[in-house]
Amino acid sequence: MNQLLGNCTVVDARALPVKDAGVWITGDRITAVGPYGEIASRARAAGPVVERDMGGAFVTPGLANMHTHFSLSLPGGGGNAVKDMGPHDLALYMADGARRTLDCGVTTVRNVAEKDHADFALRRAINAGRAVGPRMYTAGRALVCTGGHGHESGDTMECDGPVGFRHGVRSQIKAGADLIKVMISGGLAGEHEAISTPQLFADEMAAVIETAHAWGRKVTAHAGPAEVIGAAVELGLDCVEHGYQLTPQVAARMAEKGTALVPTLLVTRCKEFFDELGVPEWMQCRSLGAGPRHIESFQMALEAGVEILLGSDMPPFWSFEGTNATVRELENLAEHLGPERALHAGTRGPIRWLGLEKDLGTVEEGKYADLIAMDADPLDDTSAFRGVRFVMKGGVVSREDQR
């Protein structure tokens, strides 16, 4: 099917906006982008075309959320309800979250620990058209030492020693993992650990990274303290999640080595979310108390030139502070990055990390038609993404609000 989007401005992180634009889509990919008159003439000459008047909207690539959990279960009543789900209930719960995520304008997600490999079933269902959701790139179960961060749930796999961690990497790749997630320090949600607790020895970290890279998979690590992060960066770590306690020296080394940061700023400033889930006081105090140092760490990464990528940690679709968690996190980033760099952090940057830049991340000829639209200009104010009213993934419209 030929489609033509008109009466819009095309905005992405690659080039100047294209005003009065036309976007011609054939099947699931973009055939051409440019001045509306020229593109419309070409599209109509090619045969029947479905034309969509975008009402002056700003059209951007779909957002990419690099830290998602569709089966998240934090300590507390809300998390316990998810933990207690049987496999059938869990599958439906995660599928509903995937649908809601796409409706928010998130067309690509990177899952970094899901329960019992249900993420692979969900990915297959979405790819086969049996479920609606974003493009999923997933780590399967995160690797953790015995008793380490997140060991209480089916979204992690306990390993010990270099041999154990090599086996862990291979087991996730066997199941279908696109990347590997490893917990190398304590975190906010572990009652009997500290953020600064190292949880892997150097030979274990090396085993994870070496094995994953041998199989062509990148590695991202849940990590807080600078010393632990620095050691992993020297071993070739590809990405850091959170990075609560960086130093300028470690941040500089991350930039030199090309190690990206997904700062997940929301996790230390989300009391409303914690209250909603009944998160216990000990975790709330630890999380919210870590906020000032978290921001300092993030600013060190910015000053060093570390690649910053969007990731919410909270479920990407969750209603929070007047919008969804993905957009709220993007707004948090924009406070420090500015709107233009925030757009890169939410679109082109994540896609490049995933190695998908030939197919996604910008609005240009030959790429998948993963597009969203809103009435305000996201280059003026990132809060424009609060007004997403049109979502297309692979040429299929999943949301089109009536105006």
- Could you report the per-residue pLDDT of 304-326, keeping only the tens digit for each? 999 999 999 999 999 999 999 99
Which residues does 156 contact at the CB level (< 8 Å), separation at least 6?
113, 141, 142, 143, 144, 148, 149, 150, 183
CA pair distance 72, 83, nearest whole angstrom: 9
Convert the pLDDT of each residue in 93-115 to its tens digit.
Answer: 999 999 999 999 999 999 999 99
**Per residue in 308-328, is it b (16+ CB within 10 Å) or e — as a string?**
bbbbbbbbbbbebeebbbbbb
In whole angstroms, what is the distance from residue 25 CA to residue 46 CA? 11
pLDDT band for position 28 (cuts 50, 70, 90) = very high
Mean local confidence (pLDDT), 7-34: 96
**Pair type for strands 49-61 and 63-68:** unpaired
The pLDDT value recorded for residue 373 is 98
* Whether this model's pTM surpasses 0.85: yes
By percentage, how much of the chain surpasses pLDDT 70? 99
- Cα–Cα distance for residue pair 271/253, rounded to 1 Å: 33
pLDDT interval class at 148 (50, 70, 90): confident
| Percentage with pLDDT > 90 across the chain | 91
pLDDT on residue 186: 86
The mean of the pLDDT values for the chain is 95
Residue 16, pLDDT above cutoff 90: no
Q: How many CB atoms lie within 10 A of CB 335?
A: 11
Q: Is the pLDDT at 189 greater than 70, yes or no?
A: no
Distance CA 97, CA 91 (A): 10
What pLDDT is stored for residue 197 in this prediction? 84
**In degrees, to the nearest 5, what angle opens at C-alpha 360 toward C-alphas 323 and 260?**
70
The stretch 296-306 carries a mean pLDDT of 98
Largest CA distance in the chain: 67
